[in-house]
């Protein structure tokens, strides 16, 4: 693989992690502020304030997990305990998504509104399952 491609991929991962961390910060700040819009950059506050903070929290978690996917996979491949933990948290998030959609007034609207929860759960579940397989292969080789 070319070093330039590796740099681009790393830049995209870092950008996704940073933007996810910012969305998490903003949505948690919005939760604790009286007006549900924190005082950061006025243009950003106006745009993000029009979006529901719950959806922004899920999107922030998803983007952050996408950005740190490689280190998570590395951790998951080293230890079965970590891979089981990632898989369990991912399965819980997927189950929570199903519950949220079942409780929502509109099933299609609920699917779209809580889609970041499904994405984060699916990502963690896939990292856990792939780590479990890799850790199992390594245990049988030694």
The rounded distance, in Å, linking the Cα atoms of 53 and 59 is 10
End residue of a domain, out of 32, 52, 67 = 67
Q: Which of 48, 44, 72, 70 is nearest to 59 (CA)?
A: 48
Judge if 32 and 72 occupy the same domain. no
The parent domain of residue 103 ranges over 68-142
Reported confidence tier of residue 32, pLDDT bands at 50, 70, 90: confident
Judge if 112 and 127 occupy the same domain. yes
- Cα radius of gyration (the chain): 18
Q: How many domains does the chain have?
A: 2
Judge if 15 and 76 occupy the same domain. no
- As given in the structure block, the two tokens for residue 64 are 């952050």
Task: Name the most confidently modeled range: 29-33, 75-79, 86-90.
Answer: 86-90
Judge if 6 and 41 occupy the same domain. yes
Q: Which of 21, 38, 20 is nearest to 29 (CA)?
A: 38
The rounded distance, in Å, linking the Cα atoms of 56 and 28 is 9
Judge if 48 and 72 occupy the same domain. no
pLDDT at 138: 60
pLDDT at 67: 93
pLDDT at 16: 93
């Amino acid at each position: 693989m070319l070093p330039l491609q590796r740099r681009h991929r790393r830049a995209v991962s870092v950008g996704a992690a940073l933007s996810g961390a910012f969305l998490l910060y903003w949505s948690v700040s919005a939760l604790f502020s009286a007006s549900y819009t924190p005082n950061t950059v006025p243009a950003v506050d106006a745009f993000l304030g029009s979006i529901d903070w719950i959806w922004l929290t899920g999107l922030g978690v998803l983007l952050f997990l996408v950005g740190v996917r490689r280190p998570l996979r590395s951790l998951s491949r080293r230890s079965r305990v970590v891979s089981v933990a990632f898989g369990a948290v991912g399965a819980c998030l997927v189950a929570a998504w199903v519950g949220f959609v079942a409780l929502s007034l509109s099933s299609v609207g609920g699917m779209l509104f809580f889609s970041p929860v499904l994405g984060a759960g699916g990502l963690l579940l896939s990292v856990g399952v792939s780590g479990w397989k890799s850790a199992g292969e390594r245990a049988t080789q030694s």
